[in-house]
């Protein structure tokens, strides 16, 4: 769906996006994560053809963004950070206009506008002026316009910012639903949102991709925050040094007599179990404490800066 190689954007002397490679395929929700000013919006703008890249190439929905931008634009639904609305128009007028410029067949336009309005929970709001809508409803209209041409790829730039808790739940449920049948790229810096919504994560900082994959994969790759709790019923005195000698283990702390915190890179659990078995100690429990996304985020972003 998205294949980018060496995507770079320079504004005067500032490098906003620096040699970004992306490979996103199949249905699902992909989280595009990074601190403010990391280059998320600029990357999205390049993928949607709004901004030309300084260097590199991007193939979106099978078409080169630079060579055939109109082909790409016809297949991508995009919700910018601020929903692009005309306050003078009603919800219905606006969505019909977007359907028209996005190339929805005239015969299908009315039905399609009705469908997306139902889908995002705007049923009955057709004749309301956009200027009179609350922030949550503006966001819904923004989502509806991104969906109206039934795109293969949805790019959403912070779609949940400024929503109240009830609206948040609604919009998140909708995004999950949408992700079942199409690719949704979701930019955000709300970490719990990524944990609940996204199958995959692309972490970006200072314009560069600093990590990508599933949340667990990322945690394993950095070893950040995740640790193994080793509980022994009888522990020989040399247990800490034996554990520390295992390949991949980075630190061992004794939490209480017979209970150790083992940190390491990758999956060290099998090797720890083997080592304990070999030492003659009896293992009571081996518990894996996975890192939260926040810890992974801080480890990767912190490492970069």
Chain residues that interact with another protein, rule: CB under 8 A = 11, 45, 48-52, 70-71, 73-74, 76, 78, 80, 82, 84-86, 88-89, 93, 97-98, 100-103, 145
Considering the complex, state which of residue 66 and residue 174 has its C-beta at the smaller distance from another protein: 66
Considering the complex, state which of residue 62 and residue 302 has its C-beta at the smaller distance from another protein: 62
Pairing of strands 28-33, 14-24: unpaired
- Compute how many other C-beta atoms are within 10 angstroms of the C-beta atom of residue 151: 19
CB of 59 to another protein, least distance (A): 17
Considering the complex, state which of residue 145 and residue 212 has its C-beta at the smaller distance from another protein: 145
**CA 187 to centroid of chain Cα atoms:** 6
CB of 82 to another protein, least distance (A): 5
Give the span between the Cα atoms of 246 and 250, in whole angstroms. 9
CB of 223 to another protein, least distance (A): 39
Considering the complex, state which of residue 14 and residue 166 has its C-beta at the smaller distance from another protein: 14
Give the angle 175-179-185 at the CA atoms, nearest 5°. Answer: 80
CB of 191 to another protein, least distance (A): 26
Mutual orientation of helices 106-119 and 91-101 as an angle, nearest 10°? Answer: 130
CB of 210 to another protein, least distance (A): 27
Give the span between the Cα atoms of 246 and 110, in whole angstroms. 66
Mutual orientation of helices 165-181 and 135-147 as an angle, nearest 10°? Answer: 10
Considering the complex, state which of residue 101 and residue 283 has its C-beta at the smaller distance from another protein: 101
CB of 78 to another protein, least distance (A): 5
4 by Cβ neighbours in 10 Å (0-12 / 13-18 / 19+) ranks as: buried
Considering the complex, state which of residue 38 and residue 98 has its C-beta at the smaller distance from another protein: 98
Considering the complex, state which of residue 100 and residue 164 has its C-beta at the smaller distance from another protein: 100
CB of 180 to another protein, least distance (A): 24
């Amino acid at each position: 769906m998205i294949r980018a190689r060496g995507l770079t954007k320079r504004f005067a002397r500032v490098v906003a996006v620096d040699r970004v490679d992306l490979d996103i395929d199949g249905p699902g929700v992909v989280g595009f994560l990074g601190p403010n000013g990391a280059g998320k919006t600029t990357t999205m703008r390049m993928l949607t053809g709004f901004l030309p890249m300084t260097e590199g190439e991007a193939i979106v929905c099978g078409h080169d963004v630079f060579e055939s931008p109109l082909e790409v634009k016809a297949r991508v639904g995009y919700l910018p950070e601020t929903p692009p609305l005309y306050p003078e128009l009603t919800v219905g007028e606006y969505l019909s206009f977007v359907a028209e410029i996005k190339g929805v067949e005239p015969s299908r336009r009315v039905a399609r506008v009705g469908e997306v309005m139902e889908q995002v929970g705007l049923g009955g709001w057709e004749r309301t002026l956009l200027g009179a809508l609350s922030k949550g409803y503006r966001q819904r209209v923004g989502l509806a316009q991104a969906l109206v041409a039934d795109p293969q790829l949805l790019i959403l730039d912070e779609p949940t910012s400024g929503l109240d808790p009830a609206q948040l739940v609604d919009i998140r449920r909708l995004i999950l639903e949408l992700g079942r049948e199409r690719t949704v790229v979701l930019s955000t810096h709300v970490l719990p949102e990524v944990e609940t919504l996204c199958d995959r994560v692309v972490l970006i900082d200072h314009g560069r991709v600093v990590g990508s994959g599933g949340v667990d994969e990322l945690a394993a790759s950095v070893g950040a925050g995740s640790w193994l709790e080793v509980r022994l019923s009888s522990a020989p005195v040399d247990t800490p040094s034996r554990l520390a000698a295992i390949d991949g283990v980075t630190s061992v702390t004794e939490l209480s007599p017979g209970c150790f915190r083992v940190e390491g890179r990758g999956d060290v659990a099998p090797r720890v179990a083997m080592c304990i078995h070999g030492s003659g100690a009896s293992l009571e429990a081996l518990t894996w404490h996975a890192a939260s996304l926040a810890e992974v985020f801080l480890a990767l972003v912190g490492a970069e800066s």
